[in-house]
Amino acid sequence: MAANFTPQGCGPNVDSLYYNLCDVAAVWGIVLEALAAAGFIFSFVLFISLLASMPFMQDKNRRSSVALHACFLVCTTGLFCLTFAFIVGKDFSTCASRRFLFGVLFGGCFACFLMQCMRLNILVRRNSGPQAWVLCLGALGLWLVEVIINTEWLIITVVRHPRGPLNATAETSRATATPCNIANEDFVMASIYVMTLILAVVVASLAILAGKHKQWKKEGTCILLSSLFSVGIWVAWIVMFVYGNERSGGPTWDDPTLAIALVANAWVFLILYTIPEICCVTNDDDSQQGFRDDLYPNRGVGYETILKEQSSKNMFMENKAFSMDEPNQAAKPVSPYSGYTGQLRSSVYQPTELALISKAVGNPADSSFDMVIPRASANSAANSGSSTPSTHANLGNAAYTQTNGNSVGWV
């Protein structure tokens, strides 16, 4: 008889509390279970990626928000896990976790959002944000308010209603458990503080777009889109939870409505905020690194620079080798016409031997020139036959001496 009540897709040993996880007829449970499991894995991967990218963040304003991002991802992962509590059946533990953790996890997400908005509002106006511990303390204070509200609300509801008759069956005791006998209107009113946080996030994210530093507006736009989609999801599930379920399918649609709201809002957080934020952090670090390379190009040594240096060194060594093979330049005779370039210089006049001789012959009365005629001697006659070409070269290249600019003599 027990096998007759076992739904298709579930084994005979599966407790009735978990029928929605395996019942083929309850398609919503299987689909939401798959989406929640995928979201849990994806959130964990993003959390690891965020922590791994922290050592590569050069901007201190980016590093100060890592703690808030990590807390936000933890709360988002909790939303995916809480979805399973709405898929399975009702008992005291599952109903208590639903009523308490629903507002607490959403409160943590939007508290981090609100502190991020405060940080971005300061950055878009001053380009210098607060420290990380200030942001974490602010988010913790906002989150503790929701924790206190839900704790008091859960304690009051448990004390006010009895747990159920002792002689009741398992199914009856599960149905009459105290946290499960709370009206839908009371559940919505217990989340009023979360709604206040959502509206505050929308207003604060709109104020970010009015700043003057544009590099911080991207993150503000992501927060604004996430908060607007969250407002739409919350309006949809509240209307369905309070009014629509009673007219359409009755209370049996209560759990699917809340489970869909959890999964949808958690995926909105990941797609519209977490993934773009991690991409923006990575792109900003790459652009800053490229800006530093352009600003200080001499710090990096490229392959082409090394090749140019090697080729210049080799060319210098070859030129040096050729210069070592050439004779000494100081030993060569210098022609008096070597400095002539074809242009007349009026500032410097350097007379040659022929010019001096012609001037002396043309004006013999000029006392400025005293010609000295070489005289023959016995030594010169004796050595005339043994003169070497070097001697003739020395005689042919005779120089003149000028004493005080008046006398010229042959040597």
Concatenated DSSP letters for 342-366? S---SS-----HHHHHHHHHH-TT-
Residue 267 confidence (pLDDT): 96
**Residue 127 within any structural domain of the chain:** yes
Please report whether residue 60 resides in a domain.
yes
Q: Which residue has the tokens 């939870």?
A: 241
CATH code assigned at 128: 1.20.1070.10
Which residue bears the tokens 């359409």? 248
Residue 295 belongs to a domain: no
Q: For tokens 């007829």, what's the residue?
A: 25
Residue 386 lies in a domain: no
For tokens 């997400």, name the residue: 109
Tell me which residue of 91, 106, 84 sits closest to 40, measured CA to CA. 84
Given this model, what pLDDT does residue 217 score? 86
pLDDT one digit per residue (tens) for the chain, 411 residues: 344 578 887 888 888 888 888 888 888 889 999 999 999 999 999 999 988 888 888 778 888 888 999 999 999 999 999 999 999 988 888 888 999 999 999 999 999 999 999 999 998 888 777 888 999 999 999 999 999 999 998 888 877 655 544 444 544 444 455 677 888 888 999 999 999 999 999 999 999 988 777 888 888 899 999 999 999 999 999 999 998 887 776 677 888 999 999 999 999 999 999 998 888 776 654 444 443 444 444 444 444 555 555 555 555 455 554 455 555 554 555 555 555 555 544 445 555 666 656 655 555 555 444 444 555 555 544 444 444 444 444 434 444 434 344 444 443
| Amino acid in the structure at residue 195 | M
pLDDT at 395: 39
Q: Which domain holds residue 57?
A: 17-282
**What's the CA gap between 127 and 215, in Å, rounded?**
9
First-to-final CA distance of the chain: 144
Residue 400: φ, ψ to 5°: -110, 155
Compute CA 367 distance to the chain's CA centroid, rounded to the nearest angstrom: 91
Q: What residue type is 34 in one-letter code?
A: A
Asked if residue 287 is part of any domain, the answer here is: no
Residue of 197, 253, 259 whose CA lies nearest to 226: 197
Q: Does residue 307 form part of some domain?
A: no
Is 400:410 a contact under the CB 8 Å cutoff? Answer: yes
Tokens of 35: 């989406």
192 and 153 Cβ atoms separated by less than 8 Å: no
Cα–Cα distance list, 346 to 133, 143, 186, 350, 375 (Å): 83, 95, 112, 10, 38
Q: Per the domain annotation, does 360 fall within a domain? A: no
DSSP string, 157-176: HHHHS----TT--HHHHHHT
Is the Cβ–Cβ distance between 89 and 17 less than 8 Å?
yes
User: What is d(CA 67, CA 58) in angstroms, rounded to the nearest whole number?
Assistant: 16
Strand partners, 133: none
328 is a domain residue: no
Q: Give me the number of domains the chain comprises.
A: 1
